[in-house]
């Protein structure tokens, strides 16, 4: 087993407030904006939703990287109120309004089919949020989360962000924080989606990359070919296509890695890091038990935290 005493000490994180509103005493927010996150017709329906929380305890007390809760109205099939759903905050810490009064989130409509009955299944909270109009009220709780945050001293670090789908939400806010308060040495965002039409906030990140040479924006399309490669790519595939770039960047002692999105991405990134990085660099982010070092391709997600131990220079928020 990995020696816990050798785990890399992570950066100092800011103190945050949590659970200012609990489910039994929610705050009332008001929708101020709702719009598509994509510029072309996507395979999925994803909306950027802004909520005025100035009448709640969340006002001025949330941070990029945290989440907040939504209590959808109505009753479930057992006649009980619908349970709380958590959504990542996609606004910077200062809010969409610059005063911490308006937070935002990124919501994908869940539209599926029951396997057994073949009947349509609609996600309760996601469709409720996406149906809301400007001026509608919504019951909110939180904020939640104290680990998936930027460090206190933003400018002292390099950042590598890996996102899939709506996992982009916290990174939109974090990157805004980085460029509003300081000038980080290097920021790299890898965005993985199934189709190019599913890229969220794509125009925003391309414009940011055009105006900031230290910001790199890499997309990974899993069901289409991209201009710079002749094969389909998952997010972790960019570690291979840009191998020299990432080996150099991750070899620096002030680089941090953040991963947010589908849980299947997590093990893929661990595998690829192990394949491209020398052991002395890889161990700064991931400790691997000796008995599985030589069998990378057979690693499975249930080995995480049992035989594969992320250090505190790697931040994970997967679902």
Instruction: Give residue-wise pLDDT tens across range 8-43.
Output: 678 999 999 999 999 999 999 999 999 999 877 778
Q: What is the pTM of this model?
A: 0.94
pLDDT score recorded for residue 125: 94
Residue 111, pLDDT score: 85
| pLDDT of res. 8 | 62
pLDDT at residue 7, rounded to an integer: 44
Between the alpha carbon of residue 295 and those of residues 149, 274, 292, 300, the distances in Å are 32, 11, 5, 11
SS3 of 15-48: the string is: CCCCCCECCCCCEEEEEEEEEECCCCCCCCCEEE
pLDDT at 1 exceeding the cut of 80 = no
Residue 184 confidence (pLDDT) above 80: no
pLDDT for position 174: 97
Structure tokens at 77: 């099939």
pLDDT tens profile 195-254: 999 999 999 999 999 999 999 999 999 998 887 887 889 999 999 999 999 999 999 999
Q: How confident is the model over 273-291, as a mean pLDDT?
A: 96
Q: What is the pLDDT of residue 177?
A: 95
Q: Which residue has the higher pLDDT, 53 or 77?
A: 53
Nearest Cα residue to 16 out of 112, 87, 100: 100
pLDDT per residue over 93-114, tens digit each? 999 999 999 999 999 998 888 8
Q: Per this entry, what is the length of the chain?
A: 319
130-181 pLDDT tens trace: 999 999 999 999 999 999 999 999 889 999 999 999 999 999 999 999 998 7
Give φ, ψ of 139 to 5 degrees: -85, 125
Please check the confidence at residue 6 and state whether its pLDDT lies above 70.
no
pLDDT for 101 equals 98
Strands (E), the chain: 27-36, 46-52, 67-70, 85-88, 102-108, 111-113, 120-122, 137-144, 158-164, 186-193, 215-221, 255-261, 286-288, 308-310, 314-318
pLDDT attached to residue 43: 80
Would you say residue 115 has pLDDT above 90? no
Query: What residues contact 123, with CB distance under 8 A and at least 6 apart?
Result: 109, 110, 111, 112
Closest C-alpha among 168, 210, 217 to residue 189: 217
- Count of beta carbons in the 10 Å neighbourhood of residue 135: 9
pLDDT band at 319 (very low <50, low <70, confident <90, very high): confident
How far is it, in rounded angstroms, from Cα 88 to Cα 94? 15
User: Among 45-54, 143-152, 176-185, 303-312, which stretch is predicted with the lowest mean pLDDT?
Assistant: 176-185
Q: What is the mean pLDDT of the chain?
A: 93
Calculate mean pLDDT across residues 120-130.
92
Nearest Cα to Cα of residue 212 among 240, 186, 194, 193? 186
What are phi and psi for residue 164, nearest 5 degrees? -125, 135
How sure is the predictor about 121, in pLDDT bands with cuts at 50, 70 and 90? confident
């Amino acid at each position: 087993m990995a020696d816990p005493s050798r785990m890399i000490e992570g950066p100092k994180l800011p103190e945050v407030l949590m659970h200012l509103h609990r489910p039994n005493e929610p705050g009332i927010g008001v929708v101020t904006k709702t719009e598509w996150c994509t510029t072309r017709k996507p395979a999925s329906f994803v909306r950027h939703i802004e909520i005025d929380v100035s009448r709640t305890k969340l006002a001025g007390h949330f941070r990029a990287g945290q989440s907040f809760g939504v209590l959808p109205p109505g009753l479930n099939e057992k006649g009980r109120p619908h349970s709380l759903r958590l959504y990542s905050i996609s606004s910077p810490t200062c809010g969409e309004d610059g005063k911490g009064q308006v937070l935002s989130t990124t919501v994908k409509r869940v539209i599926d089919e029951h396997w057994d009955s073949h009947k349509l299944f609609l996600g309760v909270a996601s469709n409720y949020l996406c149906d809301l109009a400007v001026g509608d009220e919504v019951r909110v709780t939180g904020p939640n989360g104290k680990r998936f945050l930027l460090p206190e001293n933003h400018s002292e670090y390099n950042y590598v962000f890996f996102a899939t789908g709506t996992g982009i939400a916290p990174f939109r806010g974090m990157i805004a924080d980085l460029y509003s308060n300081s000038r980080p040495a290097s920021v790299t965002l890898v965005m993985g989606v199934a189709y190019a039409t599913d890229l969220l906030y794509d125009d925003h990140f391309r414009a940011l990359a055009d105006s900031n040479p230290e910001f790199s924006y890499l997309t990974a399309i899993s069901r289409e070919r991209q201009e710079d490669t002749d094969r389909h790519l998952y997010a972790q595939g960019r570690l291979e296509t840009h191998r020299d770039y990432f080996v150099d960047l991750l070899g620096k002692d002030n680089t941090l890695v953040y991963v947010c999105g589908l849980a299947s991405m997590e093990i893929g990134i661990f595998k690829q890091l192990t394949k491209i990085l020398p052991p002395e660099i890889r161990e700064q982010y991931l400790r691997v038990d000796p008995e599985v070092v030589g069998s990378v391709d057979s690693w499975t997600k249930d080995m995480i935290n049992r035989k594969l131990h992320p250090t505190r220079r790697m931040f994970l928020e997967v679902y």
